[in-house]
Amino acid sequence: MLEFKQIQKSFQTVQGEQVLFSGLDLAIQKNEFVTMVGNNGAGKSSLFKMIVGDMQPDGGDVLLGNHSILSMPTHLKKARIGKVYQDPAAGTIGIMTLLENMALADRKGERVSLQFAIRKSARERYGELLKDLGLGLENKLDTPMKELSGGQRQAVALVMATMKTPQLLLLDEHTAALDPKTARLILDKTQTLVTEKGIMTMMVTHNLQDALSYGNRLIMMREGKIVEDAQGRTRDQLSLSHLLEQFYTA
């Protein structure tokens, strides 16, 4: 379970103090795939930053699996979290080959050692994992990542982020930089992976239709508050027009 408890956060701006969160509470359960929408500045990214440690709240606590993670060293925290960024280049190592990238992801959370990085039979195993994507990546294992297309890189980043089944998966507009067809493919793959492995997931998106079509819980934020939180049947009955209406209510 991921829990935000009584989160307080304000920023100093030229207009004086700007309050973003004044006691935000949010709990996300295992097996939940939450899609998060809201305009810029609503607080979605800030929540992500507080989870990975790029931002500290002024008050309150963030708990992952019943333990506060606010004071945990960033790299230890990240060992338990998978993240896919908007920029396809951000989630993989461009100068290393696809095989080498997969080998690194395969050792996520392990103590760094002097064992050879690529295990026996790794090639076959990674090939199988990549084959599922249907992008022909299993034949490009020796290609440097930077020579792959944005969509291919993002697909690999997704596979890498979920390879060692993280406690929490954060998707930060991870399809925003892709063409519609590739975006759909990545989203479908995301849904399959997350459901199969039962990974607790938060996905920020600006595409309201995607937010409705994927995942099993929808949260809409505005000015640091949760204005819509729908799951189960309620969510099934949500319509795009209703969401749009909500979205444009200031």
Partner 1 sequence: MDFLSLLEQGLIFGIMAVGIVISFRILNFPDLSVDGSFALGAAVSASVLINGGSAILATLAAIIAGFAAGSATGLIHAKGKVDGILSGILVMIGLYSVNLRIMGKSNIPLFAVNHLFASKEGSLLKIVLIVAAVKIVIDLFLRTHAGFVLRALGDNTKVVEGLGVNPGNYKVLGLGLANGLVALSGGLMSQYQGFADISMGIGSLVTGLASIILGESLLKRFGFIGVTTIAIVGSVIYRVILAMAIHYGLQPSDLKLVTALILLVILILEKKMGGKYARV
Out of 15, 40, 116, 121, the only residue in the binding site for partner 1 (CB under 8 A) is 116
Q: Does 110 bind partner 1 (CB under 8 A)?
A: yes
- Relative to beta strand 33-37, strand 81-84 is unpaired
Does position 141 interact with partner 1 (CB under 8 A)? The reply is no
In the complex, what is the shortest distance from the CB of residue 13 to partner 1, in angstroms, rounded to a whole number? 26
The piece of 27-35, 58-66, 81-89, 223-231 that touches partner 1 (CB under 8 A) is 81-89
79 belongs to the binding site for partner 1 (CB under 8 A)? yes
Answer for which of 78, 125, 206, 235 binds partner 1 (CB under 8 A) is 78
Query: How many angstroms separate the Cα of 193 from the Cα of each of 18, 136, 240?
Result: 39, 18, 25
Token pair belonging to 186 = 């990545």
Conformational region of residue 177, where left means phi above 0, alpha means psi within -120 to 50, and beta covers everything else = alpha
Query: 92, exposed or middle or buried, with CB in 10 Å at 0-12, 13-18, 19+?
Result: buried
CB of 153 to partner 1, least distance (A): 12
User: What residues between 173 and 212 interact with partner 1 by CB under 8 A?
Assistant: none
Residue 147 as a binder of partner 1 (CB under 8 A): the answer is: no
Q: Left if phi > 0, otherwise alpha if psi is -120 to 50, otherwise beta: which for 53?
A: left
Task: Tell me the closest approach of the beta carbon of residue 80 to partner 1, in angstroms.
Answer: 8
Residues sharing a CB contact under 8 Å with residue 121, sequence separation 6 or more, in sequence order: none
Contact yes or no for 44/173 (Cβ under 8 A): no
- Asked if residue 76 binds partner 1 (CB under 8 A), the reply is yes
Chain centroid to Cα 112, Å, comes to: 25
Candidates 10-18, 37-45, 100-108, 122-130: pick the segment binding partner 1 (CB under 8 A): 100-108
Q: Please, are residues 157 and 189 in contact by the beta-carbon 8 Å criterion?
A: no
H/E run at residue 3 = strand 2-13
Please choose, out of 8-16, 39-47, 85-93, 178-186, the segment that lies near partner 1 by the rule CB under 8 A. Answer: 85-93
63 binds partner 1 (CB under 8 A): no
- 1 in contact with partner 1 (CB under 8 A): no
94 lines the binding site for partner 1 (CB under 8 A): yes
Contact residues: partner 1, CB under 8 A: 73-76, 78-83, 89-96, 100, 103-105, 107-110, 112-118, 161
